[in-house]
Structure 1
């Protein structure tokens, strides 16, 4: 079952595992300050949050790929 949220640690370690940490970091750097602060200081990352959807859409992820990402992150 796909989790609705994962911890910041799990999310960012999954970015490392998927070799996306630098791509996401670059994308975050182009966003407004609110998105940058949310990425840096959030304790959890929520699957269906609009900010999350925007980030995954910017990287061309499908819903199935997002689910797989969250599932993998939840196992870290």
Structure 2
């Protein structure tokens, strides 16, 4: 019998053969759980995913816009990896009007890309 974790909305975000914490509930069947959003991806993976999605030019323009925080520009230009939870990701996504799900999808796609 599997045990599951749920997010704030009640969606199942993890399934386990053994109970990991007391707040997990058991179910009769293994649920389908979506792909895990990676915490970090390499610079190459991030840029390749943006290019494949047709978003690289827009992100580059945001990073080099004079109104963008200089630390975000520096991160875009020099980071060797990108973290999903970083302030640069949050700022870029907000500036470009992306929902959290879109950023998650980009990280999931990036993790599949190999150099």
TM-score, with normalisation over the residues of structure 2? 0.63
- 5+ residue gaps in structure 1? none
Greater RCO structure (CA 8 Å; 6+ sep): 1
2: CA distance, partners of 1:55 / 1:32 = 10
Cross-structure match for 1:62: 99
State the shift of 1:32 in Å: 3.4
State the shift of 1:54 in Å: 0.7
Q: Which has more helix, going by share of residues? A: 1
TM-score, with normalisation over the residues of structure 1? 0.92
Deviations 1:29-57 (A, max 9, x none): 11233222211110110001111101011
Match among 21, 31, 51 for residue 16 of structure 1: 51
Match among 69, 72, 76 for residue 109 of structure 2: 72
